[in-house]
Structure 1
Amino acid sequence: MKVSDHACGRARELASVELDEGLSQLEQARLGVHVRRCAACREFRLSIRATTDTLRSAPLEQMERQIVLPHRRRMALRPLQVGVAAMVVVATGFGAFIPLHARLHRPVAPAVGGSNQGDLRVLRDVRLQQIKPRPVGLAGGIQ
């Protein structure tokens, strides 16, 4: 019975995970069934177990010299960064305010046409009607 390459790849992946993290019961059962049927995967599992055990049992190497990373001086740039950021904010604010200011303070366009005396009379009459005092009714119904 020939086992597919996909099944072998999955079994080898499970064998590797088994050494580092452990497997769930389902994964452990799947791996066990596969390695009983597939000699190549069984040999792979034994080989990586032996290699892992050898590496884990070896003593840790001691460093001959201590490794020290130089401390970077980033604080010198901090005031410059803050100044540039403030300038960008101010420039953006002015850039947004100038078009708005121009739109709000546009000059009124002159009237188009010949004489506008008739229009002025109509506007004056409308204004006079709006401000003309009106009688106010009293509580007794007398006006």
Structure 2
Amino acid sequence: MATTAATTDLPASPDQVWRLIGGFGSLPDWLPFISASEPDEGGRVRRLTTADGETIVERLERFDDRARSYTYAIVRSPFPVGDYHSTITVYEGTDAGHARVEWSGTFTPEGATDEETVELFHGIYTDGLAALGRTLGT
């Protein structure tokens, strides 16, 4: 099993950041890689459309509004992985009024090496968190 994580510190309150990213269907609001998110199964599943027209289906596994965190699994995607689970969490930052966001994942490479899949997802997480900062105007 391979793992990766990325973090960013943002000059915005954790509650402000969570309001933007905490909705399971909110990826198109801050992640340019995702152009659409359609809910299914009462909002527990999201069908994502990438900017390239690919489809990704993800299932919400755990949601904790108080801890500002959710975990999801990929059900279907074009990515060379199986058993993919990811968590995104917004923490209090080290400076007052700032947030720290962590996006982490574990997965089993399928048809690719650990290094290739770690590089792929680390890039997605890092680029996504940079886009989050731009969306928040930081």
Normalized against structure 2, the TM-score is what?
Answer: 0.20
**Structure with greater Cα Rg:** 1
Relative contact order (alpha carbons < 8 A, sep ≥ 6): 1 or 2 greater?
2
